[in-house]
Structure 1
Amino acid sequence: MDVDNTPTRDEELWFSDGGLVVQAEQSLFRVYGGILAARSPVFKDMLSITQPPDAETIEGCPVVRLPDRAADITVFFRAIFDSSFFEPHPYEVSFQSVLSIIRCSGKYEVGYLRRRALVHLSYDLPTTLSGYDGDNSSTNFNSFLGSPASRWIPPCIAAVQLARQVNALWVLPVAFHHLATTDKKTTQKVLDCTSFDGHPAKLSGDDQFVFLTCSLLLIRLEHDAVSFLHSADSSPKCVGGTKCSAACLKAMTRVHRYMAGIVGPVPLGLCGSAGIWPDLSKTCCAQCYGFLKAADAVARQEVWDKLPSICGLPPWPELERMKADALKC
């Protein structure tokens, strides 16, 4: 069957008084060249070139062809010409839009959009444990998490690939952490993934190695994350005696049973996911319960602090400095 390759207008981005027609794949956009030139030095240079008398025009407008995906340019132009489309955090935007805008705004040097998109991405893939624990996302990326792995693996890999391209290394530890919690059945899906909703989503050979290494090391960190439950130490102000010791032993057993049944390593969420805290709050004295909660917080922070190194990245303070430099106006 023949495929119709006739270019078609994007009606939402076809302004009757626009002076420039842009073509990406088979989509046509009639936009304002002056606004593009003001936003992008790349377009400014492109449009400053004098056109020959026989240059192609559509409805009297010069035509510029771009090598980008039409879907990316659609999102990119909407963000430029519609101020309500891609607003700053904490407004909700789609994860697909974030990917498109980071890619195009970097290529065409639209700094304010690149920073805005990186802020959205950074809230999804934070650099602090409090940010990881909180619900600060403004995109629908986190809606993929908890869904079947076939849904959330591709966007996570797309984020890794794009972060490498634009040097947004600070998002990688949490992205790899999400991928590394997969089970044996989905590990192959991580390695085989090539795309997400038209966006490239494939781990390089080096990042496949990081993913597999991270998976192995997170398993080891699970034991570190709950080692405080194995300790004979308790609060020096304990008033529960053997009751508190028995509660701690029960909690330890419950965590180990949970670890035996889960499909992937989850060192940052073991105690909470195993559900030990409600029982401990009822059976331990207040002093021991507070002691255990504090020990858990320390253990989780130690796991968090190790995430960058097991991904082959600089420590969090250096990644945060990189983030601050990239996001500053």
Structure 2
Amino acid sequence: MSSYPAEPRAQKRRREGDSDDETTTIERSRRHWFDDGNIILQVESTQFRVNKGVLAMHSSGFRDMFTVPLPLDEPLVEGCPVVSLPGDSSEEWTYLLDAIYPKECFQPPPTIPQVSAILRLSNKYDIPAFRKEMVRRLRAHFPSSFADYNDSWEHIQKPSPAVSREYFALLVGCVREVGLDVVLPCLYCVMIPTFFDMNGNLIHSPTRNLDLVDENRLLKASLKFARLQEKSPHIRWCLPTRNIVPCDACPRKDLCRSLAKNLLPELAIWLTPLSVLQPWRNMWSAGLCESCVKVARAAYVDAQKGIWAELPSFFSLPDWEELRSRDYD
């Protein structure tokens, strides 16, 4: 039976060209070092002892790799060959192996770092089942259809404010790397208030900053949102020039007109990128007659749909139809 060692053991490994005192400390993973493992994956300075059969079952990349016989003089560690995986991080591989070797039958929604790591590695090593699941979660939470948008964070864990900038920067970089562009408009829209303050100044994370491509896209889009004004769902329905409220069927036009006009200053605070995604709030129509409320809500949703249709262009992306055509299967 496989088991975890009580403490990971470290060893020194000399790198090519190193002097005698220039070695790298190699550590065994605390979570993924199995005594019955028959392959060791080395990622950065961490080694994972796992099973060839399990990796091959999930990944065609590893399945093909294992068909190539090892050189006779290949050095072994505790009888196991060592496969070095350059370009990956040990943290990413810990998340992936957590999914391959789960300790729980049903797990809560994954965090953004987990989704990013599993998506990137499953794309790199061709692990279709895991890639499909991560893509499903991202499509569901950052959809291309306004009707499908849901702000409940049921597919991915919502990051805390303390780590949200770092996590979103990580996620958008991964999404662009694997080419899942169809989720970018909605993802960018959610990110803008996290990365820019009310004055349009970029808020830098002390641990991870945005790529310049993403930073420029968010900056340009934030300026476009600021210029929406009368197109904003919150402003449009109560503007006197729009003649939406009072409606034709209103039994008390003067009162409803006055209430809508007085709401304008209050609703102006909702002029943010996330207003495109937020549902109607009943407090906005307090005091209006039933007919005006119905018309106002319909006008609000129509304005949202109109902005949603243009959303990709805010970030210099192709339209929704083109993004969907380039989406994963």
TM-score where L is the length of structure 2: 0.81
> 1:217-260: CA deviations, max 9, x gaps?
1112243112231123432211122111111111123223x26x
Distance 1:167 1:34 in 2: 29
Which residue of structure 2 aligns with residue 124 of structure 1?
141
The CA distance in 1 between the partners of 2:105 and 2:58, in whole Å, is: 16
User: How many residues are treated as equivalent by the alignment?
Assistant: 301
Q: Deviations over 1:157-212 (max 9, x none)?
A: 2222111111100111122213333226673335xx5854xxxx5323x4333222
> Is the counterpart of residue 173 in structure 1 residue 185 in structure 2?
yes
User: Structure 1: any 5+ residue segments left out of the alignment?
Assistant: none
Distance change >3 Å, CA 305–CA 20, structure 1 → 2: same
Residue 115 of structure 2: aligned partner: 98
> Matches of residues 76-225 of structure 1 in structure 2 within 5 Å?
76-82=96-102, 84=104, 91-140=108-157, 142-144=158-160, 147=161, 151-181=163-193, 182-183=196-197, 187-190=201-204, 196=208, 202-204=210-212, 206-225=213-232
Local SS of the residue matching 1:6: strand
> What is the distance in 1 between the residues matched to 2:122 and 2:65?
15
**Number of the residue aligned with 2:53:** 34
Secondary structure of the residue aligned to 1:53 is: coil
Partners of 2:31 and 2:40 lie apart in 1 by 13
Partner in structure 1 of residue 291 of structure 2? 287
Q: Residues 70-117 of structure 1: CA distance to partner in whole angstroms, max 9, x if unpaired? A: 111111122223384896xxx511211101111111111111111111
CA deviation profile, 1:132-170 (whole Å, cap 9, x unmatched): 344153222x334xx36xx32222222221111111001
Q: Which has the higher helix share?
A: 1
Deviates more, 1:39-48 or 1:314-323: 314-323
Is the Cα–Cα contact under 8 Å of residues 240 and 284 in structure 1 kept in the other structure? no
Give the alignment's Cα RMSD to 1 decimal. Answer: 2.8
How far, CA to CA, are the matches of 1:29 and 1:291 in structure 2?
61
Is residue 222–residue 266 contact of structure 1 (8 Å, CA) maintained in 2? no
Aligned to 2:78: 59
C-alpha distance in 1 between matches for 2:324 and 2:215:
24
CA contact (8 A) 2:190 2:273 kept: no
CA contact 1:8–1:27 (8 Å) conserved in 2 = yes
* Higher relative contact order, structure no. (Cα contacts within 8 Å, ≥ 6 residues apart): 1
The question of whether the paired residues in 2 share the 8 Å contact of 1:222 and 1:270 is answered with no
Structure-1-length-normalised TM-score: 0.81
Unmatched runs of 5 consecutive residues or more in structure 2: 1-20
Contact 2:173 2:211 in 1 (8 A): yes
1:298 aligns with 2:314: no
Per the alignment, do residues 229 and 269 of structure 1 end up closer, same or farther by CA in structure 2, a change over 3 Å counting?
Answer: farther
Alignment of 1:213-252 (within 5 A): 213-225=220-232, 226-230=235-239, 231-233=242-244, 234-252=246-264
